[in-house]
């Protein structure tokens, strides 16, 4: 490790993205005790949305069996329950420095998946301008930028915008989410004629946001739409 990096770590110690405490070993990006607390999504998982499943013989979660999705396939990095506090701080408490750790983790775990898809661009879920001004950043865009740095896949923030300020989705039913997101997104420009894109977001719950974006993209002529999220709930 470079001497300069050691000195910076001593003067400005990094915080663990899991517990938010000072990292207990110089040069690491997460506490040793916290590394074991992270639960990654592993097989078996839903072949459509990527939710963790309980049985090897399952191919799809109950939700994907009964719901039409506009995307081809999605994947997620973490089980939401194990990283909920971390993602909350990243999203609402200004812990933008977590983005580097998350981006590197996404690339390490999903680079083979990305190589198989060969996307033209990474497209973060856009925040409504008023919400981005209030928060100061869009967490999905920060994730996409870090993943782009690691993978070399370009990021595109000009393709689609959010034109409706939607209600927070966490307390809404599926039907309410879908109604809330109607005409929320608008294609702004597709000058480069993208064919395959990966939508980037922090959390996948029912897929309503991803579907609303994917539908608008399909109508604009984008044929192959996938997604990656930082975390996802468990399937049944």
- Provide the 10 A C-beta neighbour count for residue 120: 18
Rg from Cα positions in the chain = 18
Kindly state the tokens that stand for 83.
């990283």
For the chain, the three-class secondary structure string (H helix, E strand, C coil) is CCHHHHHHHHHCCCECCCCCCECCCCCCCCCHHHHCCCCECCCCECCCCCCECCCCCCCCCHHHHHCCCCCCEEEEEEEHHHHHHHHHHHHHCCCCCHHHHHHHHHHHHHHHHHHHHCCCEEEECCCCHHHHHHHCCCHHHHHHHHHHHHHCCCECCCCEEECCCCCCCCCCCHHHHHHHCCCCEEECCCCCCCCEEEEEEEEECCCHHHHHHHHHHHHCCCCEEEEEEEEECECC
Pairing of strands 160-162, 121-124: unpaired
Span 201-210, average pLDDT: 93
Residue 3: band (very low, low, confident or very high) from pLDDT cuts 50, 70, 90: very low
20 belongs to a structural domain: no
Question: Average of pLDDT values for 66-82?
Answer: 96
Please report whether residue 106 resides in a domain.
Answer: yes
Domain count, the chain: 1
Residue 180: pLDDT band (50, 70, 90) is low
Tell me the whole-structure pTM to 2 decimals: 0.90
Mean pLDDT of 3-25: 73
What does the CA dihedral 127, 129, 130, 135 come to, rounded to 10 degrees? 60
- pLDDT-derived band at 235 (thresholds 50, 70, 90) equals confident
Angstrom distance (rounded) from CA 147 to CA 144: 5
pLDDT of residue 163: 87
Residue 189 belongs to a domain: yes
- 2 within a domain of the structure (yes/no): no
**Residue 111 maps to which CATH number?**
3.40.50
Domain limits for position 226? 45-232
Q: What is the pLDDT of residue 236?
A: 74
- For residue 204, tell me if it sits in a domain: yes
What was the pLDDT predicted at 170?
A: 62
Query: Which residue is it, tokens 């997460």?
Result: 30
Does residue 17 belong to any structural domain of this protein?
A: no
Cβ contacts of residue 122 below 8 Å, gap of 6+? 144, 147, 148, 151, 153, 154, 155, 156, 197, 198, 200
- Confidence band for 58, pLDDT divided at 50, 70 and 90: very high
The pLDDT tens digits for 114-136 are 999 999 999 999 998 898 999 99
- Other Cβ atoms closer than 10 A to 196: 15
Task: Answer whether residue 3 is part of any domain.
Answer: no
Q: Which of 27-31, 46-50, 119-123, 176-180 has the lowest mean pLDDT?
A: 176-180
Q: Which residues pair with 225 in a beta bridge?
A: 197
Residue 24 lies in a domain: no
Q: What is the mean pLDDT of residues 15-30?
A: 89
What are the residues whose beta carbons fall under 8 Å from the beta carbon of 142, sequence distance 6 or more?
A: 96, 99
Model confidence at 101: pLDDT above 90: yes
pLDDT tier at 234, thresholds 50, 70, 90: confident
């Amino acid at each position: 490790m470079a001497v300069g990096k050691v000195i910076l770590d001593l003067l400005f110690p990094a915080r663990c993205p899991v517990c938010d405490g000072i990292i207990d070993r110089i040069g690491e990006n997460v506490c040793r005790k916290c590394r074991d607390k992270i639960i990654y999504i592993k097989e078996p998982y839903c072949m459509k949305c990527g939710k963790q499943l309980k049985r090897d013989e399952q191919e799809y979660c109950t939700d994907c069996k009964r719901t039409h999705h506009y995307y081809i396939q999605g994947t997620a990095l973490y089980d939401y329950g194990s990283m909920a506090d971390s993602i909350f701080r990243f999203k609402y408490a200004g812990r933008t420095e977590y983005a580097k750790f998350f981006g590197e983790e996404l690339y390490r775990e999903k680079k083979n998946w990305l190589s198989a898809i060969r996307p033209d661009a990474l497209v973060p879920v856009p925040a409504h301008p008023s919400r981005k001004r209030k928060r100061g950043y869009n967490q999905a865009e920060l994730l996409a930028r870090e993943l782009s740095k690691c993978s070399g896949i370009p990021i595109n923030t000009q393709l689609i915008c959010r034109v409706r300020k939607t209600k927070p989705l966490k307390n809404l039913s599926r039907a309410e989410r879908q109604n809330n997101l109607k005409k929320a997104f608008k294609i702004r420009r597709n000058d480069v004629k993208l064919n395959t894109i990966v939508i980037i977001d922090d959390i996948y719950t029912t897929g309503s946001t991803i579907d609303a974006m994917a539908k608008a993209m399909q109508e604009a002529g984008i044929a192959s739409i996938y997604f990656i999220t930082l975390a996802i709930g468990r399937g049944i």
